[in-house]
Amino acid sequence: MGYEMVQVWHPLVLSLKTIGVVALLLVFVGIPLSYFLSKEELRYKWLLETLVTLPLIFPPIAIGFLLLLLLGKQGWIGSYFNAMGIRFIFEFKGLVIAGFVAALPLMVKPLQSAIELFPKAIKEAAYMGGRSRFYTFVFIILPCIKKSVVAALLIALARALGEVGITLMLGGNLIGKTDTISLAIYNAVFDGEYRLALLLCAILIVISLAVFTALHFFQKEEQFL
C-alpha cells in the first residue's frame, strides 16, 4: 500500500466534524431564517432570498473568492475579527463557513415553502387559543413538518460534505489541517495515489447510500388532517 491509514482517517474525521458543526448552524440559524423568510409582509424579502439562494446559482469557486476578500485578514469583515484574534481563513472555521454557505439554500428553500404551505387556519386556531407566533411555530408547525426538516437537513449536509470550491478558497487545502474528504480525493488523484482516491470514494458512496435510504423514509408526504 502506497498510503497510510492516517491519510484516510484524518480527512474523514475532519469532514464529519465540519458537517457536524454545519448541522448545528443549519438547525439554529437555518430554521429561524426559513421562518423569517416565510412571512408574507417582509420588507426586502427579495434581497434576502437572493442572498440565501446565491450559492446555488453562482459558481462556488467565485463565491469562495468573494468570501476570501470579505473574511480575509484585511477583509471588510475579517479585519474586525482579526483585531479580536479570530481568523477564518485556512482554519477549521473557514471550512465550516464554506459548508454552511453552500448548504444554506438547500436547507432554507424547501423549509420556507413547507412553512408557507402550512394551513393558515391551524395557526390562527393556536393564536386564538392565546398562543404567540413563536410558541405556535415551535410546538405546532415544526413538529408537523419534522419530516421536511430532516429531509432538507440531509440534502443540505450532503451538499456540505461534497463542497470543494468554497472550501478550497477559505480552507486552503492544507494537508493534515484543512483537507476535507472531497479535497483529499483531489489531492490523492493529483499525487497519482489512485488506490487511496478509490478508498475515499468508497467511503463517500457508503455515506451517500445511507443518506439516500434516510431520504426515502423522510420524504414521504406530510398530511395535515
224 binds other proteins (CB under 8 A): yes
Least Å from the CB of residue 125 to other proteins: 4
* Residue closer to other proteins (CB basis): 126 or 160: 126
Least Å from the CB of residue 38 to other proteins: 18
Contacts of 119 (CB under 8 A, 6+ apart): 224
* Residue closer to other proteins (CB basis): 140 or 189: 140
Least Å from the CB of residue 10 to other proteins: 43
Task: Confirm if 116 and 145 have CB atoms less than 8 A apart.
Answer: no
Using CA atoms, how far residue 181 sits from 12, 74, 89, 196, 202, in Å, is: 5, 29, 18, 11, 11
100/98 Cα distance (integer angstroms): 5
Burial tier of 59 (Cβ tally within 10 Å: 0-12, 13-18, 19+) = exposed
Contacts with other proteins, 138-157, as mask; x by CB under 8 A: -xx--xx-------------
Q: Which of residues 101-140 bind other proteins (CB under 8 A)?
A: 119, 121-122, 124-132, 139-140
221 binds other proteins (CB under 8 A): no
Radius of gyration of the chain (CA): 20
* Residue closer to other proteins (CB basis): 139 or 217: 139
Per CB under 8 A, residues contacting other proteins are: 119, 121-122, 124-132, 139-140, 143-144, 223-225
